[in-house]
């Protein structure tokens, strides 16, 4: 396992000449994680930094623009397409009784808002997870989060008789948080820490075990089956109706999660260099991992409680961003905040358009697109132990 | 064993043969105990709930010589259940052992890498969309498992197939397959959904005799293939280069073993559904019982039958009026076992 994370010095500097990393030739056979360039080598070349910095700012502006565009499309398209000027009029000057305005306010706006929040939470949580585990396959959904939420939701339906999606929220949150903590704890035991395979298998094991229990509960209750199967496919729509009554506490938790995540950028950069070097540079690894873990639990928990189980968004987002802007986690996290919602809202819009007059849930669209991406990543990246 | 031999002085053959005899005795004992457990569980499943005074008549009934209502229950309802449990247990046990050996990963098994999921998706499609049942449903499930296995193999191919790549791509496919199942479940009648759920968790219940017949024939056909591929697997375990030197193409040998393992899992899944974790736990349990590491196919098969019979016995008789599919019992027990295995093997620093 010593070859898992090559020393940063053994990695060619992506921005500069070879002499800035003199030991390149000493370990030519060490497998490299191409995505984890060391951002701290750039300050030696101020010109490069300037250019990169302006490119990154420009890119971020582009991401924000893309998000605005996606939001507009999400408000405009659907079972019934609404022209953009009507959308604008509805937002600025709502006329009571106008059908189109009502569609915008009662359906499109809530689900777009849910998509924004959930997409940002999943994108940032995925980036954080890949950062602290140094694992390009980490994703909140792969780690048993959804299974934990499912179990608690089923129990809420059967034991407490709650059948409205807005009523599940806190159960989904608690289940997701508990499962994430358990899987991470089991995966992190051992000298080499949380490796891709260990986390994926611990998540899978928990998922299968919980699925057995959930099935047992479901086959004894038709009502629970009916309520649960619609929750089980992640969606922005059915949850939308409850959005205006959205709990402030949930928003606060989401905000705290995002805040902690954005503060973690620097420590993720240190962690990317390997534990020993990070410690040598004065990082408090336990504290850094702890803050990131709390943030992941908050983000994944709120996302799952708002939209149900959605896999792959967290997995894919960092992989889209890294080739564009490099490996500095402070920037990747900032970009995730916008790229995540773009992906999720785009999936939601596609789901609305492909199956008119019905619609395909966003969770299904994301999984259909995400699985090939995951396979491509596994084929391309030399993972630990692959 | 090789280490023991080297450590011993040249003049101590007696010690060595004694150690060998001890190992052989242990293997024989374990095998006999497993056979005994299988027979005992089978008989218990057959006669459970009857009057003790009627026991002899019931045992006669097992061999077709009994009479009365009890005999009907035993030959028509319970004997096929036991027969199917035996076949499914053997198939999953051997399949899991083959997968884990050829991919050199104790955590590779058809239920984790999406092959069972493929069977479930195909069966759910057949059940919910086309409304098929019986043998046709089994054919769907079989085809689904084979197609997904082929897809994983092809996608994991990059100058050969590595164990971890196979497993991770399998996990990814499993998630995609789950989304497909989710789609089917939300679009179907809620009562059909429940029967699909029961199928997908794995259940044996009271199978018709033709099912048992088809499964037995399939297993009889696959048995010689297993024997042939195991020889090549043993050579494969010496390492790819050595195997190449001995004239065995490593990739072709791996493909052959995987094909047989997939066929076994697919056949068993076709008739009982993907009974969770049986394929996964059987071989590790068998290896822990035995003093030597190795393939341990026969003990794995026996552990498989014991697990399925015990779970089916629990599901049918010990949970009162609740009708529980056998896969729920194995899943509820298997998941904590897998997590425990991960935790303990991680602590030793040799985690997957």
Report the SS3 class of residue A38. coil
Whether residue B343 has pLDDT greater than 90: no
**Banded pLDDT at B202 (limits 50, 70, 90):** confident
| pLDDT score for B62 | 65
Interface probe for A, chosen from B188, B191, B335, B349 (most Cβ of A below 10 Å), is B335
Whether residue A104 has pLDDT greater than 70: yes
**For position A274, which CATH number holds?**
1.10.3470.10
Interface probe for B, chosen from A209, A224, A363, A374 (most Cβ of B below 10 Å), is A209
Q: Is residue B238 part of a domain?
A: yes
DSSP B45-90: HHHTTS-GGGHHHHHHHHTT---HHHHHIIIIIIHHHHHHHHHHHH
Mean pLDDT of B136-152: 92
The structure tokens listed for B48 are 């459970």
Q: Is residue B141 part of a domain?
A: yes
Mean pLDDT of B317-342: 81
**Rg over CA atoms, chain B:** 22
The structure tokens listed for A173 are 């949150």
Q: Which of B168, B169, B183 sits opposite A364 (nearest CB)?
A: B183
Residues of A in contact with B194 (CB under 8 A): 218-219, 222, 225
Q: Which of A206, A208, A378 sits opposite B168 (nearest CB)?
A: A378
| pLDDT score for B319 | 79
Residues of B in contact with A374 (CB under 8 A): 169, 172, 175
CA–CA gap between residue A45 and residue A239 (Å, rounded): 49
**Nearest chain B Cα to A226, which residue?**
B190
Residue found under tokens 């341990």: B296
Mean pLDDT of A113-137: 87
How many domains is chain A partitioned into structurally? 1
| pLDDT score for A10 | 40
What percentage of chain B carries pLDDT values higher than 90? 25
Identify the DSSP state of B246.
T
Residue A327 structural domain:
8-15+30-380
CA angle centred on B18, ends B16 and B24, rounded to 5°: 105
- Would you call A229 and B183 a contact, using CB atoms and an 8 Å cutoff? no
Q: Which of B158, B182, B277 sits opposite A232 (nearest CB)?
A: B182
Task: Of A215, A308, A312, A305, give the one whose Cα is nearest residue A254.
Answer: A305
CA–CA gap between residue A54 and residue A49 (Å, rounded): 8
CA–CA gap between residue A262 and residue A97 (Å, rounded): 42
Report the SS3 class of residue B157. strand
| pLDDT score for B5 | 46
Beta bridge partners of B157: B161
**Banded pLDDT at B64 (limits 50, 70, 90):** low
The structure tokens listed for B134 are 């019986």
Residue B323 structural domain:
34-347
Contact of B81 with B312, CB cutoff 8 Å: yes
Identify the DSSP state of B104.
T
Tens of pLDDT, residues B26-54: 888 889 999 999 999 988 888 776 665 56
CA–CA gap between residue B263 and residue A15 (Å, rounded): 52
Contact of A216 with B328, CB cutoff 8 Å: yes
- Would you call B165 and A371 a contact, using CB atoms and an 8 Å cutoff? no
| pLDDT score for A12 | 42
Other C-beta atoms within 10 Å of B51: how many?
10
Contact of B194 with B65, CB cutoff 8 Å: no
* Residues 6+ away with beta carbon under 8 Å from B346: A186, A187, A189, A190, A198
The per-residue pLDDT of chain A, averaged, comes to: 77
Residue found under tokens 């004992």: B29
How many domains is chain B partitioned into structurally? 1
Tens of pLDDT, residues B209-221: 888 899 999 999 9
Task: Of B294, B283, B332, B256, give the one whose Cα is nearest residue B92.
Answer: B283
What percentage of chain A carries pLDDT values higher than 70? 79
Q: Where is average pLDDT lowest: A94-98, A312-316, B3-7, B32-36?
A: B3-7
**Nearest chain B Cα to A377, which residue?**
B169
Q: Which of A205, A218, A367 sits opposite B339 (nearest CB)?
A: A205
| pLDDT score for B308 | 93
- Would you call A379 and B347 a contact, using CB atoms and an 8 Å cutoff? no
**CB-count burial class (<10 Å; 0-12, 13-18, 19+) for B162:** middle
Whether residue B125 has pLDDT greater than 60: yes
Supply the ipTM of this predicted assembly: 0.75
Q: Is residue A44 part of a domain?
A: yes
Whether residue B172 has pLDDT greater than 60: yes
* Residue A6: C-alpha distances to residues A29, A37, A117, A195, A285 (Å): 10, 11, 36, 15, 18
- Would you call B328 and A213 a contact, using CB atoms and an 8 Å cutoff? yes
Listed in sequence order, the DSSP H helices in chain B are 2-7, 13-47, 55-62, 68-72, 79-102, 115-124, 135-156, 163-186, 190-201, 209-236, 240-245, 250-272, 278-289, 297-313, 326-347
Whether residue B75 has pLDDT greater than 80: no
Residues of B in contact with A378 (CB under 8 A): 165, 168-169, 172
Whether residue A39 has pLDDT greater than 70: no
Phi and psi at residue A77, in whole multiples of 5°? -95, 155
Considering only residues A50 and A356, tell me which one the structure prediction assigns the higher pLDDT. Answer: A356
Whether residue A280 has pLDDT greater than 60: yes
Q: Furthest-apart CA pair in chain A: how many Å?
A: 73
**Nearest chain B Cα to A358, which residue?**
B187
Whether residue A13 has pLDDT greater than 50: no
Interface probe for B, chosen from A185, A199, A201 (most Cβ of B below 10 Å), is A201
The structure tokens listed for B119 are 């069977």
Q: Which of A142, A202, A229 sits opposite B186 (nearest CB)?
A: A229
Q: Is residue B101 part of a domain?
A: yes
Tens of pLDDT, residues A230-246: 888 888 876 544 555 56
Q: Is residue B12 part of a domain?
A: no
User: How many residue pairs from chains A and B have C-beta atoms closer than 8 A?
Assistant: 175
CA–CA gap between residue A153 and residue A172 (Å, rounded): 6
Tens of pLDDT, residues A167-188: 777 888 889 888 988 888 887 7
- Would you call B171 and A186 a contact, using CB atoms and an 8 Å cutoff? no
- Would you call B178 and A367 a contact, using CB atoms and an 8 Å cutoff? yes
Q: Is residue A3 part of a domain?
A: no
Task: Of B53, B83, B35, give the one whose Cα is nearest residue B219.
Answer: B83
**Nearest chain A Cα to B152, which residue?**
A375
CA–CA gap between residue A126 and residue A136 (Å, rounded): 9
| pLDDT score for B37 | 93
Contact of A6 with A32, CB cutoff 8 Å: yes
Interface probe for A, chosen from B124, B152, B172, B336 (most Cβ of A below 10 Å), is B172
Whether residue A8 has pLDDT greater than 50: no
Considering only residues B297 and A51, tell me which one the structure prediction assigns the higher pLDDT. Answer: B297
**Rg over CA atoms, chain A:** 22
Q: Which of the given ranges, A12-26, B7-21, B216-230, B329-343, has the highest pLDDT on average?
A: B216-230
For residue A251, what is the enclosing H or E element?
Answer: helix A248-263
Residue found under tokens 């019931």: B58
Identify the DSSP state of A243.
G
For residue A299, what is the enclosing H or E element?
Answer: helix A285-307
**For position B295, which CATH number holds?**
1.10.3470.10
**Nearest chain A Cα to B156, which residue?**
A379
- Would you call B198 and A186 a contact, using CB atoms and an 8 Å cutoff? no
Whether residue A137 has pLDDT greater than 80: no
CA–CA gap between residue A267 and residue B345 (Å, rounded): 29
- Would you call A368 and B112 a contact, using CB atoms and an 8 Å cutoff? no
**Nearest chain A Cα to B339, which residue?**
A202
Tens of pLDDT, residues A55-77: 888 888 988 999 999 999 988 88
Tens of pLDDT, residues B78-113: 888 899 999 999 999 999 999 988 887 776 788 778
Residues of A in contact with B171 (CB under 8 A): 142, 200-201, 204
Whether residue A50 has pLDDT greater than 60: no
Q: Is residue B230 part of a domain?
A: yes
The structure tokens listed for B274 are 């993907």
Residues of A in contact with B328 (CB under 8 A): 212-213, 215-216
Q: Is residue B10 part of a domain?
A: no
Contact of A88 with A106, CB cutoff 8 Å: no
**Nearest chain A Cα to B112, which residue?**
A204
| pLDDT score for B143 | 94
**Nearest chain B Cα to A191, which residue?**
B349
Q: Is residue A386 part of a domain?
A: no
Q: Which of B165, B175, B331 sits opposite A208 (nearest CB)?
A: B331
CA–CA gap between residue B171 and residue A143 (Å, rounded): 12
For residue A148, what is the enclosing H or E element?
Answer: helix A145-160
Tens of pLDDT, residues A287-344: 888 888 889 888 988 888 888 888 888 888 888 888 888 888 888 999 999 999 999 9
């Amino acid at each position: 396992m010593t070859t898992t994370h090559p020393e940063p010095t053994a990695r060619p500097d992506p921005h500069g000449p070879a002499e800035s990393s003199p030991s390149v030739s000493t370990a030519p056979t060490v497998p490299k994680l191409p995505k984890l360039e060391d951002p701290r080598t750039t300050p030696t070349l101020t010109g490069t930094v300037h250019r990169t910095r302006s490119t990154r700012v420009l890119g971020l502006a582009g991401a924000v623009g893309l998000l605005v565009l996606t939001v507009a499309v999400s408000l405009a398209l659907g079972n019934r397409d609404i022209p953009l000027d009507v959308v604008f009029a509805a937002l600025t000057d709502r006329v009571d009784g106008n059908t189109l305005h009502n569609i915008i306010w009662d359906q499109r706006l809530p689900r777009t808002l849910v998509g924004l929040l959930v997409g940002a939470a999943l994108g940032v949580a995925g980036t954080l997870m890949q950062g602290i585990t140094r694992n390009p396959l980490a994703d909140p959904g792969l780690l048993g989060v959804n299974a934990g939420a499912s179990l608690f939701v089923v129990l809420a339906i059967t034991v407490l008789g709650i059948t409205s999606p807005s009523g599940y929220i806190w159960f989904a949150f608690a289940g997701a948080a508990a499962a994430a903590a358990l899987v991470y704890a089991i995966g992190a035991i051992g000298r080499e820490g949380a490796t891709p395979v260990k986390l994926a298998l611990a998540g899978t094991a928990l998922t299968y075990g919980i699925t057995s229990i959930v099935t047992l509960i479901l086959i004894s209750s038709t009502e629970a089956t009916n309520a649960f199967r619609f929750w089980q496919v992640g969606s922005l729509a059915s949850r939308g109706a409850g959005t205006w009554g959205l709990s402030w506490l949930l928003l606060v938790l989401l905000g705290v999660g995002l805040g902690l995540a954005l503060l973690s950028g620097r420590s993720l950069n240190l962690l990317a260099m390997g534990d020993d070097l990070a410690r040598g540079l004065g990082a408090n690894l336990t504290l850094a991992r702890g803050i990131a873990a709390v943030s992941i639990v908050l983000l994944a928990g709120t996302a799952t409680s708002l939209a149900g189980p959605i896999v792959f968004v967290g997995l894919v987002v960092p992989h889209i961003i890294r080739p564009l802007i490099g490996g500095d986690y402070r920037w990747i996290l900032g970009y995730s905040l916008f790229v995540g919602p773009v992906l999720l809202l785009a999936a939601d819009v596609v789901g609305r358009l492909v199956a008119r007059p019905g619609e395909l849930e966003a969770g299904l669209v994301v999984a259909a697109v995400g699985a090939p991406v995951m396979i491509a990543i596994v084929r391309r990246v030399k993972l630990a132990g692959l | 064993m090789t280490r023991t031999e080297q450590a011993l002085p040249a003049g101590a053959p007696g010690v060595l043969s004694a150690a060998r005899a001890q190992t052989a005795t242990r293997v024989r004992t374990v095998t006999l105990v497993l056979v005994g457990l299988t027979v005992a569980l089978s008989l218990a499943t057959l006669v459970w709930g009857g009057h003790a005074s009627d026991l002899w008549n019931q045992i006669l009934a097992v061999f077709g010589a009994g009479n009365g209502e009890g005999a009907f229950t035993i030959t028509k309802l319970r004997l096929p259940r036991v027969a199917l449990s035996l076949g499914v247990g053997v198939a999953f046990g051997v399949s899991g052992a083959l997968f884990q050996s050829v991919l050199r990963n104790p955590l590779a098994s058809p239920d984790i890498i999406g092959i069972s999921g493929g069977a479930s998706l195909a069966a759910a499609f057949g059940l919910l969309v086309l409304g098929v049942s019986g043998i046709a449903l089994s054919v769907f499930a079989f085809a689904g498992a084979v197609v997904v296995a082929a897809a994983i193999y092809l996608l994991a191919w990059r100058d050969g197939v590595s164990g971890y790549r196979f497993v991770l791509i399998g996990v990814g496919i499993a998630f995609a397959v789950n989304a497909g199942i989710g789609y089917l479940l939300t679009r179907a009648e809620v009562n059909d959904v429940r029967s699909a759920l029961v199928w997908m968790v794995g259940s044996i219940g009271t199978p018709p005799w033709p099912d048992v017949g088809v499964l037995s024939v399939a297993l009889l056909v696959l048995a010689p293939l297993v024997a042939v591929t195991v020889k090549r697997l043993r050579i494969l375990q010496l390492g790819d280069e050595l195997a190449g030197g001995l004239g065995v193409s490593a990739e072709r040998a791996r493909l052959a073993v995987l094909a047989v393992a997939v066929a076994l899992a697919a056949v068993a899944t076709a008739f009982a559904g993907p009974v969770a974790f049986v394929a996964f736990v059987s071989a590790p349990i068998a290896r822990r019982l035995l003093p030597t590491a190795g393939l341990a196919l026969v003990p794995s098969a026996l552990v498989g039958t014991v697990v399925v019979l015990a779970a089916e016995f629990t599901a049918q008789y010990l949970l009162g009026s609740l009708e529980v599919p056998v896969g729920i019992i194995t899943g509820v027990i298997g998941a904590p076992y897998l997590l425990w295995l991960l935790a303990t093997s991680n602590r030793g620093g040799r985690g997957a």
